[in-house]
Structure 1
Amino acid sequence: MKLVIVLMLTALPLFCYAGSGCELIEYLIDKTIDPTESKSQLIADFQQFIPGPITANALGNFKQCFLNQSNDTLSNVALMMDTIYNSPQCASY
């Protein structure tokens, strides 16, 4: 499961190439890896982007994956995302 999460998070910077704006993605990732943020609060924060209950359930399950991780793992994910966003490939966007 950790491998799936890592692969999914490493694919997120591809949105930078599409010009969709990394700030929103960074905000979503920060909220997702924040252990103090509940699943229901995350869903409420991003309700405008959720087309239906299936997507809301998927987002809740995705958040639960992070809630099950240790604080060390969460800080490593945050460090990885900072490294990706500050990379030369994504920094220009």
Structure 2
Amino acid sequence: MKLVTVLMLVVLPLYCYAGSGCQLLEDVIEKTINPDLSTTEYIAALQEFISDEATAKAGEEFKQCFLNQSNETLTNFREMMHIIYNSVWCAPF
């Protein structure tokens, strides 16, 4: 599961750079790292992106990884994502 998390972190800036829109990405990431949002609520919020049961299961496991982290870790992750959002990858051209 750590490999999946690392791959997601690598893909996020590229996804933003591809012109898909950083706001959508920021919203999904915020839902992912929000410790007050349960896995059920998370899956419901991302339902438009979930095509099958396997994707839903992967989303639940991904969210659970973040729920298992301390608040300090989540704060650090949020700060890291903020730096990525404001980097040249997401800057408008």
Same fold (TM over 0.5): yes
- The equivalent of 2:34 in structure 1 is 34
- The equivalent of 2:89 in structure 1 is 89
The runs of at least 4 aligned residues of structure 1 exceeding 4 Å deviation read 1-4
Superposition map of 1:33-72 within 5 A: 33-72=33-72
Size of the alignment, in residue pairs? 93
Task: Using the TM superposition, give the Cα deviation of residue 7 of structure 1 relative to its aligned residue in structure 2, in angstroms.
Answer: 4.5
Task: Using the TM superposition, give the Cα deviation of residue 4 of structure 1 relative to its aligned residue in structure 2, in angstroms.
Answer: 4.9
Cα distance per residue 1:19-74 (max 9 Å; x no partner): 11111111010000000000000100111110011000000000000000000000
How much identity, in percent, do the aligned residues show?
Answer: 59
- Equivalent-residue separation in structure 1 for 2:14 and 2:8 (angstroms): 11
Task: Using the TM superposition, give the Cα deviation of residue 88 of structure 1 relative to its aligned residue in structure 2, in angstroms.
Answer: 2.1
Task: Using the TM superposition, give the Cα deviation of residue 3 of structure 1 relative to its aligned residue in structure 2, in angstroms.
Answer: 6.5
Query: Which runs of 5 or more residues in structure 2 are unaligned?
Result: none
- Equivalent-residue separation in structure 2 for 1:29 and 1:66 (angstroms): 11
- Equivalent-residue separation in structure 1 for 2:79 and 2:9 (angstroms): 12
Instruction: Give the RMSD, CA atoms, in angstroms.
Output: 1.6
- Equivalent-residue separation in structure 2 for 1:76 and 1:22 (angstroms): 20
Task: Using the TM superposition, give the Cα deviation of residue 10 of structure 1 relative to its aligned residue in structure 2, in angstroms.
Answer: 3.6
The two structures have a TM-score, normalised by structure 2, of: 0.89
When residues 72 and 6 of structure 1 are mapped into structure 2, their CA distance, relative to the original with a 3 A threshold, is farther
> Is the 2:16–2:25 Cα contact (8 Å) retained in structure 1?
no
- Equivalent-residue separation in structure 2 for 1:79 and 1:6 (angstroms): 16
